[in-house]
Amino acid sequence: MDGITKVGGKFSVGGVLLDRPFKIRRLGHFGYNMTNMEDGIAFYRDLLGFRITDMLDFAKVRPPGALDGLGSTVGYFTSHGTDHHSHVLFPKRAMDQMAQGHGPFNPEITTNQITWQVGTLREVGDGIDWFKSIGVNPGRIGRDVPGSNWHSYPPDPEGHTNEIYYGIEQIGWDLRAKPPGVRKRRFDDKPSLPQMCEYQELEMFKGEGMDLGEGFRHVEKGPFKYDVGGVMLARPFKVIKIGPVRLFVKDMEKCLAFYTGTMGLRITEEVTYQGHRCVFLRCNTEHHSLALYPIALREKLGLSPHTTCMSFGNQLGDYQQLRNAVDFLKASGVTIKYLPPELFPGIDYSAFAVDPDGHLVQLYYYMEQLGWDGKARPASARTKVDNDKWPETVEAKSDSFDGETLLGPLG
């Protein structure tokens, strides 16, 4: 691990001594491999409000004919904010075909990525070396475009692809992504350091005559008829944050060892539900950004056997927006489920929308935040939720509307 600074057995990450040479700051983006792509895009775009920021035809980046006969080969990058993408939808048949010969294949895995942002490009490079040194496959490494983020893709012990990344492209007031020509700065290996900053990169492209205004631009359909906090929007709520991700796993101990020992997530809380151990892990001040459940719970809860992902979380702006979202989605023909609140401590009122492939999308407004001592709120002090009777309003908590985000590249 040449170039990594160690002090007394610890790694120096920006002068702070840690147990690994990177620090995950947040869940940056997430993705599903979908069978029903057309309805899936309509669900996430038109109903939940994710904007399409880019598209990629995988048939054009594979050998000719490699994906023939598999239906749609186009993947969609979507975002709820300024990140180039926070949720991606890729065609499952094409993704399954591309996965053949690249390690163990589990058709029940429909997550295409669980992606964690670190603070610097150096952490990505050092992380690649560290994964190799401890016998963890770093997966695909380098830099992808669309999105412009540098990355490593280590899989967990059951095949869920994780990613650590730095510097995702930000999309501003004009909602336009970078043009396709920037893809020549795509890399398939560990980056040499230092790299030019994004400003220099874009100036280089302009100097070569590239039109930076040629990138994809989302067009919102509207109508803009809902008053959301004094702003007219096309739906009566706004997704403000993604996560947590909830996974069903077969080997809890191996998966915990990966997410804590390898990735550096911290256990916040454990609960036992109907005799099953459920574990909640965090990367920042949120109560949990990832939850692991024994796969035996999937059938007990009556959830779809086609996926190992219990749900993908979407945080909305406030409690009223949550209530409005449930009504809006029901009126749009979406099935809404309610699960026992014991399964997601740190969140009180919550509903689960079923997407066209049968995945659950968790909708909530509040996530318990942890302070300097890393202790969760005692269960006795939490809101008691009756899923059959939500109140019109709720009392504020000491950490209502708290939390932090991390956005794009350093320059």
Q: Say what the pLDDT of residue 3 is.
A: 62
pLDDT in tens, 261-316: 999 999 999 999 999 999 999 999 999 999 999 999 999 999 999 999 999 999 99
Q: Say what the pLDDT of residue 67 is.
A: 85
Whether the pLDDT of residue 397 is over 70: the answer is yes
pLDDT in tens, 127-182: 999 999 999 999 999 998 899 999 999 999 999 999 999 999 999 999 999 999 99
User: Phi/psi class of residue 193: alpha, beta or left (left: φ > 0; alpha: ψ in -120 to 50)?
Assistant: beta
Alpha-helical runs (H) found in 227-318: 252-256, 296-300
Rounded Cα gap, residues 166 and 28, in angstroms? 10
Domains belonging to the chain, first-starting first, are 19-221 (3.10.180.10), 239-381 (3.10.180.10)
Between 114 and 65, the higher pLDDT residue: 114
Task: With beta carbons less than 8 A apart as the criterion, state whether 411 and 198 touch.
Answer: yes
pLDDT in tens, 339-372: 999 999 999 999 999 999 999 999 999 999 999 9
Rounded Cα gap, residues 140 and 152, in angstroms? 6
Nearest to 36 by CA among 301, 299, 352, 354: 354
Task: With beta carbons less than 8 A apart as the criterion, state whether 238 and 314 touch.
Answer: no
Q: Kindly give, in sequence order, each residue whose CB lies less than 8 Å from that of residue 247, ignoring residues fewer than 6 positions away.
A: 111, 160, 255, 290, 291, 292, 293, 308, 309, 310
**In the chain, pLDDT over 70 holds for what percent of residues?**
96
Whether the pLDDT of residue 404 is over 80: the answer is no
Beta strands in 212-328 (DSSP E): 226-228, 231-233, 239-249, 266-273, 276-282, 290-294, 309-316
Q: Say what the pLDDT of residue 410 is.
A: 60
Whether the pLDDT of residue 221 is over 90: the answer is no
**In the chain, pLDDT over 90 holds for what percent of residues?**
84
Adjacent-strand bridge partners of 215? none
pLDDT band for position 74 (cuts 50, 70, 90): very high
Q: Kindly give, in sequence order, each residue whose CB lies less than 8 Å from that of residue 63, ignoring residues fewer than 6 positions away.
A: none
Adjacent-strand bridge partners of 143? 150, 187
Whether the pLDDT of residue 11 is over 90: the answer is yes
For the residues 373-383, what does the mean pLDDT come to? 93
Whether the pLDDT of residue 409 is over 80: the answer is no
Q: Say what the pLDDT of residue 177 is.
A: 95
Whole-number Cα distances in Å, 232 to 124, 224, 365: 40, 6, 20
Whether a cis peptide bond, with omega within 30° of 0, leads into 340 is: no
Q: Say what the pLDDT of residue 72 is.
A: 87
**Mean pLDDT over all residues of the chain?**
93
Rounded Cα gap, residues 316 and 321, in angstroms? 6
DSSP 72: -
Q: What are phi and psi of 205, to 5 degrees?
A: -65, -45
Mean pLDDT: which of 58-72, 188-202, 326-340 is highest?
326-340
Nearest to 231 by CA among 49, 32, 7: 49
Q: How remote is the C-alpha of 328 from its chain's centroid?
A: 24
Query: Which pTM value belongs to this model?
Result: 0.94
Rounded Cα gap, residues 278 and 272, in angstroms? 6
Whether the pLDDT of residue 68 is over 90: the answer is no
Pairing of strands 74-79, 290-294: unpaired
